[in-house]
Chains A and B, each alone.
Chain A
Amino acid sequence: KAGVTQTPRYLIKTRGQQVTLSCSPISGHRSVSWYQQTPGQGLQFLFEYFSETQRNKGNFPGRFSGRQFSNSRSEMNVSTLELGDSALYLCASSPGGANTGELFFGEGSRLTVL
């Protein structure tokens, strides 16, 4: 069974630009969650989508947004990039939801903002 796939793996942007990251969950998983990982802050929850609906949202500004498609693939978008947005963005999928059991993480998309 294929794991969670995130693309792109690495990207470099400049301040003010916007970026879109993609996540393909494990087949059959309906929940996709996004996390931001930085050295000083650990894993911070961005949002969770279940069956195309945002089910939970973390404490991030409105510049961070996401969506989920009917095939459960998900995208997250960050607009008007800031230097502090440099981080590893992790996507995790699960069959039922982020609270019901194991999260299966992808390897992440490392974003560098210059």
Chain B
Amino acid sequence: GENVEQHPSTLSVQEGDSAVIKCTYSDSASNYFPWYKQELGKGPQLIIDIRSNVGEKKDQRIAVTLNKTAKHFSLHITETQPEDSAVYFCAAGYQKVTFGIGTKLQVIP
């Protein structure tokens, strides 16, 4: 089955700086790569997703890149704000998605 590795497990950045979270996947058949944000006491919420026919996707301050050859995909958050503090999960799959272990992002004001 699919195996998704996510790094780093924790990340602290100063407000206004950029944050990057990286994931690798094992199954070359995976064609769907979503990213979820989980705030304290809430369920994860989709923030951006990308499919295997696209190399990059951007939505305001967040962007995702996908390298199918290397089986890598990354989340980039620019101009971070305190409200970006949360746990972020990457996922990959085709019949079902497998989640990474999560990255706890802390944005320091």
Chain B residues whose CB sits within 8 angstroms of the CB of A40 once the complex forms: 101
Q: Provided the pairs A41-B101, A42-B101, A102-B49 are in contact, do residues A107 and B95 lie with their beta carbons within 8 angstroms?
A: no
Chain B residues whose CB sits within 8 angstroms of the CB of A42 once the complex forms: 6, 89, 99-102
Asked if A56 and B95 make an inter-chain contact with CB atoms under 8 angstroms apart, the answer reads: yes
Chain A residues whose CB sits within 8 angstroms of the CB of B74 once the complex forms: none
Q: Provided the pairs A4-B43, A43-B89, A102-B34 are in contact, do residues A48 and B96 lie with their beta carbons within 8 angstroms?
A: yes
Q: Nearest CB to that of A59 among chain B residues? A: B1
Q: Nearest CB to that of B99 among chain A residues? A: A43
Chain A residues whose CB sits within 8 angstroms of the CB of B6 once the complex forms: 42
Chain A residues whose CB sits within 8 angstroms of the CB of B43 once the complex forms: 4, 90, 92, 105-108
A40→B1 CA distance, assembly (Å): 20
Q: What are the nearest 7 A-B pairs in CB distance?
A: A105-B43, A42-B101, A43-B99, A102-B46, A56-B96, A98-B96, A105-B44
List 30 interface pairs A-B (beta carbons < 8 Å), by A numbering.
A4-B43, A33-B96, A40-B101, A42-B99, A42-B101, A42-B102, A43-B44, A43-B99, A45-B97, A45-B99, A59-B1, A90-B43, A92-B43, A99-B93, A99-B95, A99-B96, A101-B32, A102-B34, A102-B49, A103-B34, A103-B44, A103-B46, A105-B36, A105-B43, A105-B45, A106-B43, A107-B41, A107-B42, A107-B43, A108-B43
B residues at A contact (CB < 8 Å): 1, 6, 32, 34, 36, 41-46, 49, 89, 93-102
